Amino acid sequence: LEYALAYCGALAVQGPPLSWVSSHRHHHSGSDTAQDVHSPLDGFWWSHIGWLLDAENTKIRQNKQNTKDMEAQQFYRFM
């Protein structure tokens, strides 16, 4: 089920699952603080779409230091 949902998510063509997991984990490590990549404290539009278009947040999403557990799975390396 996990792989099926990850595959369906990838069909949105918004990046590989590892990027989204990295962003999600980074978000939860500092929720609603200055380190949060999409804090609602920065406004509605930023928290829903603005953070996706920001170059600095793109670097954070591409830094997959916090997804080593998932990179061990061949399925996610393939995607």
pLDDT of residue 58 exceeding 80, the answer is no
How confident is the model over 24-45, as pLDDT tens digits?
888 888 778 777 778 888 889 9
Range of the domain at 10: 2-78
Q: How many domains does the chain have?
A: 1
Contacts of 41 (CB under 8 A, 6+ apart): 32
The model carries a pTM of: 0.72
How confident is the model over 9-24, as pLDDT tens digits?
888 887 888 888 888 8
Any idea which of 31-35, 46-50, 73-77 has the lowest mean pLDDT?
31-35
